[in-house]
Amino acid sequence: MQYAIVTECNKCVSCFACSVACKVENNPPLGNHWTKILRVGPYPINEGDVFPNVEMYFLPVKCQHCRQPECVSVCPTGASQKTEDGTVQINKEMCIGCQFCVMACPYGVRYLNVEQKVVEKCTMCQQLIVAGGQPECVSACTGSALHFGDLDDPSSEVSQMVAAAGEKVHHLPDVGNDPASVYILDKQKWRL
């Protein structure tokens, strides 16, 4: 089993609903966000092009819940754990705040909660998944760009979406961690 969030970048309008919903549901400290929206571009379509011949899209970034997470392998206490559902979680009772996982994460999605002296990151709303729900960011997405499910289940919506997308499937730069989060981007559709 590998729970993941599949993002259709062509549908993301950077409304920040996912980021706000995550903040309300999980209450990370002031100045920290578990979901960040990056603007990629605008870039010229062809060398020398200027507006309106440019392309741009938005990229929601959160923990990638890697299949082989570096953050777990460097944790000296075992606080960072890969769970049976494929998500990467932090046991705050075991975390000593050493931040080895923060330094090991190639996606920059972990941070030290200075008040609690523990590391935090996106949990994929594990509390909602256990109750039979889905991550709050997926529920709040106004453009229906975010989809949740088990990538390893061929009958799941997300698995079928990824299979149908073919060469339009992307991951954040893979640094050997095999990120579970998937981005679908049709470059022909994100031109301004």
**Mean pLDDT, residues 174-178 taken together:** 64
Each domain of the chain, given as residue ranges in start order, spans 3-66+124-184
Q: Is 184 helix (H, G, I), strand (E, B) or coil?
A: strand
What does pTM read for this prediction? 0.88
CATH topology classification for 3-66+124-184:
Alpha-Beta Plaits (3.30.70)
What is the spatial distance between Cα 112 and Cα 5, in angstroms, rounded to a whole number?
Answer: 24
For residue 178, the model assigns a pLDDT of: 73
Name the nearest CA neighbour of 161 among 17, 2, 56, 8. Answer: 8
For residue 45, the model assigns a pLDDT of: 85
Residue 113 tokens, joined: 């909660």
pLDDT digit string, tens, across residues 102-132 = 999 999 999 999 999 999 999 999 999 999 9
Give one DSSP letter per residue of 129-171, joined into a string.
Answer: HHTT---HHHHH-TTS-EEEEETT-TTSHHHHHHHHHGGGEE-
